[in-house]
Amino acid sequence: MKNITILGATGSIGNNTLSVASLHPDKFNIFALSANTNWRKMQTLCEKFQPNIVVMVDKKAARILSKFVGNKTQILHGIDALNIIAAHNETDYVMAAIVGSVGMASSLSAAKAGKRIMLANKESLVLAGDLFMQTVRDNNAELIPVDSEHSAIFQCLQSGKSGLTKIQLTASGGPFLHTSIEKLQNITPDEACDHPNWSMGRKISVDSATMMNKGLEIIEAHYLFNIPAKNIDVVIHPQSIIHSSVYYEDGSTLSQLGNPDMRTVISYAMSYPDKIFSGVESLDLVSNSPLEFYAPDLNKFACLNQAFEALKQGGNAMGTLNAANEVAVEYFLNNQISFLDIAKIIQYTLGTIQHTNASSLEAIVANDKIARKTTHEIIKRYV
Ligand SMILES: NC(=O)c1ccc[n+]([C@@H]2O[C@H](COP(=O)([O-])OP(=O)(O)OC[C@H]3O[C@@H](n4cnc5c(N)ncnc54)[C@H](OP(=O)(O)O)[C@@H]3O)[C@@H](O)[C@H]2O)c1
């Protein structure tokens, strides 16, 4: 029996993790859960899963929740309490599924404590790739990717990297694959969040529409698999059936396929190296044909290019990219800037922040703060 801690339990990945765990009560016990403010959803989860510990980052939400939850569950609050459950000696596996850079510190705590980290929070690697991977190695932690593309590559590379020439991430192209740049100007947040294949939280849905999500995934892949940027590329595949591919010098290519449903990826991270029932139907290739592939349009999806450039630049450029994107997406979701402004604002921010190394957690956090402040100022000045 494995004790699971889910950071970001009320979100889309959290929900799917609980759904897989429910199918295997003999294998997984829900030990601890966390959320930010959503105490109503957390109350329902507590009734169903009876966790030992719950962290609500928001103090008020924790206070309200404590009125509705029985004695079996201890309720903590505050951002530091996330580290407690991530590193708790009764936790075996940590699902790191908080959205945004705020999830980085607790993922690192899990790594320091030598846990199995099921990493959905790609920001941990985007901000602190070198530090995070070193911490995983130093503490014999296990790092299993929870992103369909990285899980696919992880599976394809099970027999090693001998003869590997490149890895190729597939991208659905999001809801605006065939929309002209002119029309993108007037896109609403709801339209941007209406993803054709995947059901996800709003922030990552916008990232998917701008293709920044793929950009962050390139950086994530670089760190996870220790592959240089020049050996990573992206192909658009609107059906999201091939999740990613690896290419070898003998001319062969290995891909991993499946229906687009995160429960497959999550169940693999929970059961690795075995495979268990996830509740996802088997793939029917005939009903999904034809499968299409396109090269990405880097003019239309400028964010993808920005991520490649930030990775090549290294140091704090990736943290700046991420912070500028998080701030800009929030403004967009609040109807304060247009869809196309997101990439412009990121570009301004990247051009404004000085380049430094990202060698310590303090330096990374400081840069994140400066980049956010700069992005707010740029938005106020230019929009
Ligand atoms: N969804 C997918 O299919 C998918 C696929 C691959 C990777 N990912 C990655 O997985 C992560 C989670 O994505 P998601 O789609 O599940 O996001 P989501 O649905 O928006 O859920 C986010 C979770 O994080 C919590 N949270 C938000 N702000 C927080 C804060 N300041 N402090 C602590 N917790 C906070 C939320 O709590 P409240 O509910 O209280 O706000 C919620 O539990 C992201 O990094 C995303 O890029 C997602």
Same domain, 170 and 286: yes
- Looking at residue 187, its amino acid is I
Residues 328 and 382 in one domain: yes
Residue 22 confidence (pLDDT): 98
Which amino acid is it at 350? L
Q: Are residues 63 and 124 in the same domain?
A: yes
pLDDT, tens digit, 9 for 90 and up, residues 26-79: 999 999 999 999 999 999 999 999 999 999 999 999 999 999 998 889 999 999
**Pair (342, 212) in one structural domain:** no
Nearest CA to ligand 1 atom 35: 36
Ligand 1 near 98 CB (within 6 A) = yes
Domain end position, chosen among 145, 175, 207: 145
Asked whether residue 162 falls in the same domain as residue 304, the answer is yes
111/114 Cα distance (integer angstroms):
5
Give the bridge partners for 119, in sequence order: 96, 145
Residues 138 and 200 in one domain: no
Ligand 1 touching residue 104 (CB < 6 A): no
Q: Does 132 lie in the same domain as 24? A: yes
Q: How far is the CA of 36 from the centre of ligand 1 (A)?
A: 10
Asked whether 36 lines ligand 1 (CB < 6 A), one says: yes
Is there a single domain that holds both residue 92 and residue 187? no
Ligand 1 and 343: CB distance under 6 A: no
Q: Indicate whether 266 belongs to any domain.
A: no
What contacts 47, CB < 8 A, 6 or more positions away?
A: none
Our count of domains for the chain comes to 3
d(CA 239, CA 83): 38
> Does 51 sit in the ligand 1 pocket, CB within 6 Å?
no
Domain boundary among 145, 172, 195: 145
For tokens 């950009």, name the residue: 215
**Where do the DSSP E strands lie in the chain?**
2-7, 28-35, 53-56, 74-77, 93-96, 116-119, 142-145, 164-171, 232-236, 242-248, 253-257
Give the Å distances, CA to CA, from 340 to 209, 249, 294: 11, 39, 22
Q: How confident is the model at residue 274 (pLDDT cuts 50, 70, 90)?
A: very high
Minimal-distance CA residue to ligand 1 atom 38? 36
Confidence of residue 159 (pLDDT cuts 50, 70, 90): confident
At residue 10, φ and ψ (nearest 5 deg) are -90, 0
Expressed in angstroms and rounded, the spacing between residue 100 Cα and the centre of ligand 1 is 7
Listed residues 98, 129, 145: the one ending a domain: 145
Structure-block tokens of residue 356: 């430094």
* 115 occurs within a structural domain: yes
Are residues 294 and 188 part of one domain? Answer: yes
In a domain, 269, yes or no: no
Q: Are 123 and 322 in contact (CB under 8 A)?
A: yes
What's the confidence (pLDDT) of residue 70? 81
* Cβ neighbours for 52, distance < 8 A, ≥ 6 positions apart: 31, 32, 72, 73, 74, 90
Alpha carbon 200 to its chain's center: 10
Whether residue 200 is found in the same domain as residue 68? no
Q: Which of 7, 20, 36, 372 to mutate to test the pocket of ligand 1 (most atoms within 8 A of CB)?
A: 36
Q: How far apart are CA 17 and CA 293, in angstroms?
A: 30
- CA pair distance 250, 274, nearest whole angstrom: 29
Q: What is the pTM of this model?
A: 0.94
The pLDDT of residue 335 is: 95
Residue 30: domain span: 2-145
Instruction: Find out whether the beta carbon of 43 lies less than 6 Å from any atom of ligand 1.
Output: no
- Domain assignment present for 268: no
User: The domain that contains 108 carries what CATH number?
Assistant: 3.40.50.720
CATH of the domain at 335: 1.10.1740.10
Tell me, yes or no, whether 216 and 299 share the same domain: yes
Angle between helices 317-333 and 302-313 (to 10 degrees): 150
Question: Are 155 and 303 within one domain?
Answer: yes
Please give the Cα distance from 308 to 328 (Å, whole number): 19
Token code pair at residue 8: 């970001």
Please report the beta strands in 194-241, taking only residues with DSSP state E, as ranges in sequence order.
Answer: 232-236
Residues 229/305, Cβ–Cβ less than 8 Å: no
3-state secondary structure of 33: strand
Judge whether 318 lies within some domain. yes
Q: What is the three-class DSSP state of 150?
A: helix
Protein residue with its CA nearest to atom 21 in ligand 1: 11
Query: What would the pLDDT profile of 83-134 be if each residue is shown by its tens digit?
Result: 999 999 999 999 999 999 899 999 999 999 999 999 999 999 999 999 999 9
Please report whether residue 171 resides in a domain: yes
